[in-house]
A and B are shown apart, each in its own frame.
Chain A
Amino acid sequence: SQTIHQWPATLVQPVGSPLSLECTVEGTSNPNLYWYRQAAGRGLQLLFYSVGIGQISSEVPQNLSASRPQDRQFILSSKKLLLSDSGFYLCAWKGSIGAYNSPLHFGNGTRLTVT
């Protein structure tokens, strides 16, 4: 069966420090991968998505970047964190075959607090 791993679960980082959040998927090949962010009390915002290795689409200009160095690995990074980067970061995947209507599967998320 397919599983998605996301770590760490919680993270407290000072302003100006770098960030690296990792997400890996097991049990499937060539998944579509997504990074979402949820600010406190608000809906989810799509940040990045990828349909293949090295392919990244950015939805919102911001202080973050994403990379997909391997088929089932998706990394969210920042060189210098801002206070506004605080939030709940969620990685998700869906099968590439029939991607139009196959469901999204989310990880358990990383709660990032920038101080």
Chain B
Amino acid sequence: DAKTTQPNSMESNEEEPVHLPCNHSTISGTDYIHWYRQLPSQGPEYVIHGLTSNVNNRMASLAIAEDRKSSTLILHRATLRDAAVYYCIPGTSYGKLTFGQGTILTVHP
């Protein structure tokens, strides 16, 4: 399985953009890159996923490097409700997703 590297923690101010990086240098050519987030005492929540092209949805944008060895989750305007642990995960067969430690995002008012 591909390994990922994410910063342990990041901080942001409310209403500012947040860029959460992820390195996945060993990702295979067919693995999608998935992002989930987990609020305290809740199950993880799907945020976004992509293969090669940049992706946008109502929650966030995903920028994928041309060599696919890294990606960045972009929250355009952070809110207090965005404070969570963010996981970057390469997809595998049967959808088995291996969660790492993720990045703890703190949003300051």
Contacts and interface: CB of A to CB of B under 8 A. Distances in A.
Interface of A: 32, 34, 36, 42-46, 49, 51, 57, 59, 88, 90, 92, 94, 99-109, 111
A106 B98 CA distance: 14
B44 interface: yes
A32 B91 CA distance: 14
A99 B95 contact: yes
Given A92-B43, A106-B44, A46 B96 contact: yes
B52 to A, nearest CB: 12
A45 B99 CA distance: 7
Interface in B34-81: 34, 36, 41-46, 49, 51
Contact of B99 (A44, A49, A88, A109): A44
Given A32-B95, A101-B91, A44 B44 contact: yes
Q: Which 3 A-B pairs have the closest CB atoms?
A: A106-B43, A103-B46, A44-B99
Q: How large is the interface on B (under 10, 10 to 19, 20 to 34, 35 or more residues)?
A: 20 to 34
A100 B32 contact: yes
Interface of B: 30, 32, 34, 36, 41-46, 49, 51, 87, 91, 93-102
A51 B99 contact: no
Contacts of B45: 106
B51 A101 contact: yes
8 contacts: A90-B44, A101-B49, A101-B91, A104-B46, A104-B95, A104-B97, A109-B41, A111-B41
B95 A100 contact: yes
Contacts of B97: 46, 104
A17 to B, nearest CB: 24
A59 B97 CA distance: 12
A42 B101 contact: yes
A43 B100 contact: yes
Contacts of B98: 46
Contact of A108 (B42, B51, B99, B100): B42
Contacts of A36: 99
Contacts of B30: 100
